[in-house]
Amino acid sequence: MISGDTIVAAATPLGFSGVAVIRVSGPLAFKISRKITHQNKTNDRVATLRTLFNLDGEKLDQGILTCFASPASYTGEDTLEVSSHGNPTIIDNIISTVCLLGARLAEPGEFTYRAFINGKMDLVQAEGVASLIRSKTLEGVREQQKIIEGQLSAEINKIRKTLIDLVSTLEYQMDISEEDLNMGVQISAQKVLKGLQKKALEMSKTFRMGKMLNLGVTVVITGPPNVGKSSLLNSLCGDNKAIVSPLPGTTRDVISAELILEGVPLVFFDTAGIRKTKNRVEKEGVSRALIQRKQADIIISVSDNPLEEIDHVGDQLCVFVLNKADLHSEPAPKTVIHISCKNKTGIKELLLEIKNKLQIHPISSDASLLSTPRQQLSIKLCAEHLDRADELFTETGVELELLSLELRGGVEALDVLLGKTTPDDIINNIFNSLCVGK
């Protein structure tokens, strides 16, 4: 990404619509506005109806233009937004004209990248923008909106500031004293450090729920052939997604359906029955089923025989289900959910058990959730530095140099999280995940 020139892109999806938005950002934005409208005046933050022309003076469209002067814009640069009719031909002609006037096509996420470079947001907020665009539930949208508004960043910065104050205090002690750390200062510093450890731990624990809201949950339905896995998928999604047949081995490929549970997107995968077979196509289906099962966040292991040994799946989260329960008089283990896809019974109990296993809970409006693995890794790294610093306090004769080094490591981990010292390849990867017009 190149900063300093002028970029243009459609900010709305390609296709036919009533209105489309084209965004221009950079030093030539207002000059381009005057050129394509044949008007010498640009009104800051005033939506104005204008006729748009190409370089030959031919009319392109009539639309609404809004100018945002630097630095009070999304990118922190002079920015122009054009709302035209949503015809792809009109959009292409406007963008082509803007490019002929000195702009270039924006790269994915470049508008948000410029907002980051110009100090309009930090890296955590930028990730919130990407996650907001992908959010599939109202709860997920609300969480990402809190992050974009800076709530999570404020919590991180509060930890960072306290940590910097603690480092400053200890390094000041190193400068004025060659003796051991003053006992009063040591007790106070340990208390502050304990508080920071607690906050880092609490923040790290929010990742489970944040990840589920942001990335969703993969649920794989597995078990032997002809136990009702496809019927269960259809019952869960309320649609005939999967073909149901009394013949074993009907399902050969992986079939998916989505369901929202307490604001969390769950993607259910129906897989081929697990058995030994000589049929090459079915064998491939079984192989895919085993791969899908390994990648699952939680597994539904289905059986239709209460006396059959349960198919355990290692350390993965698993819910055990007995289907066709209406046909059996034999008691099944209490750890098994009894369902009947034919009679539509037990589905609510199954969803409740999935909710409990995943620890899905109501979301507090007070705290923001970590929502990306990068965020969780940085907080975890900071916590590790704090833990090692705490261990140094318990040793006889505190080594202030080592203590300061660990605390500085915690600060650096938070700086990476906020994007203050993050390598370019990580930054580019984050912004490349955004759409072109953002």
In the chain the domains, ranked by start, together with CATH numbers, are 7-122 (3.30.1360.120), 128-206+371-419 (1.20.120.430), 214-358 (3.40.50.300)
Residues 42-64 as b/e (b if ≥16 CB within 10 A, e otherwise) read: beeeeeeebebbeeeeeebbebe
- Higher pLDDT: 157 or 224? It is 157
pLDDT bin (cut points 50, 70, 90) of residue 381 is very high
- Give me the amino acid identity at 196: L
pLDDT tens, position by position, 254-263: 577 888 988 8
Q: What integer pLDDT is reported at residue 8 of this predicted model? A: 97
| Residue 107 and residue 5 in contact, taking contact as beta carbons nearer than 8 Å | no
* pLDDT band of 60, cuts 50, 70, 90: very high
- This prediction's pTM: 0.81
Alpha carbons 201 and 379: distance in angstroms, whole number: 8
pLDDT per residue as tens digits for the range 282-325: 555 666 666 777 878 898 888 887 766 555 566 788 888 888 77
**Chain centre distance of CA 339:** 34
Please report the pLDDT score of residue 302 as a whole number.
86
Could you give the C-alpha distances from 241 to 11, 169, 257, 291, 429, in angstroms and in order? 34, 63, 7, 21, 35
- pLDDT on residue 245: 46
Q: How is residue 178 annotated by DSSP?
A: S
Nearest-Å Rg of the Cα atoms of the chain is 29
Mean pLDDT of 165-171: 86
Q: Inform me whether the pLDDT recorded for 278 exceeds 70.
A: no
First to last CA, the chain: 14
Backbone angles phi, psi at 9, to 5 degrees: -165, 155
Report residue 3's pLDDT band, with 50, 70 and 90 as the boundaries.
low
Nearest residue to 227 (alpha-carbon basis) of 320, 109, 133: 320
Look at residue 249 in the predicted model and tell me its pLDDT. 46
Q: Whole-angstrom Cα distance, residue 90 to residue 81?
A: 15
Taking only the tens place, the pLDDT of each residue in 117-127 is 999 999 999 99
Question: 399-421 pLDDT, tens per residue?
Answer: 778 888 999 999 999 999 998 87
Question: Averaged over 45-49, what is the pLDDT?
Answer: 94
- Give Cα separations from 250 to 257, 294, 317 (angstroms): 18, 22, 27
Contact yes or no for 223/364 (Cβ under 8 A): no
Looking at the DSSP bridge assignments, the partners of residue 25 are 7, 79
Angle at 6 between CA 5 and CA 12, to 5 degrees: 140
Query: Which residues, including other chains, have CB under 8 Å from residue 8's CB and lie 6 or more apart?
Result: 22, 23, 24, 25, 95, 98, 99, 103, 104, 105, 106
Please give the Cα distance from 205 to 375 (Å, whole number): 12
Percent of the chain's residues with pLDDT above 90: 48
The pLDDT tens digits for 85-96 are 999 999 999 999
User: How far apart (Å, rounded) are the C-alpha atoms in residues 411 and 382?
Assistant: 7
pLDDT tens, residue by residue, 180-225:
666 777 788 889 999 999 999 999 999 999 999 988 898 988 888 7
Contacts of 26 (CB under 8 A, 6+ apart): 4, 5, 6, 7, 77, 78, 103
**Residue 236 pLDDT:** 83
* Mean pLDDT estimate for the chain: 84
Phi, psi of 407 (to 5 degrees): -65, -40
- Residue 68 per-residue DSSP state: E
pLDDT at 380: 95
Q: What are the φ and ψ backbone dihedral angles of 405, each rounded to 5 degrees?
A: -65, -45
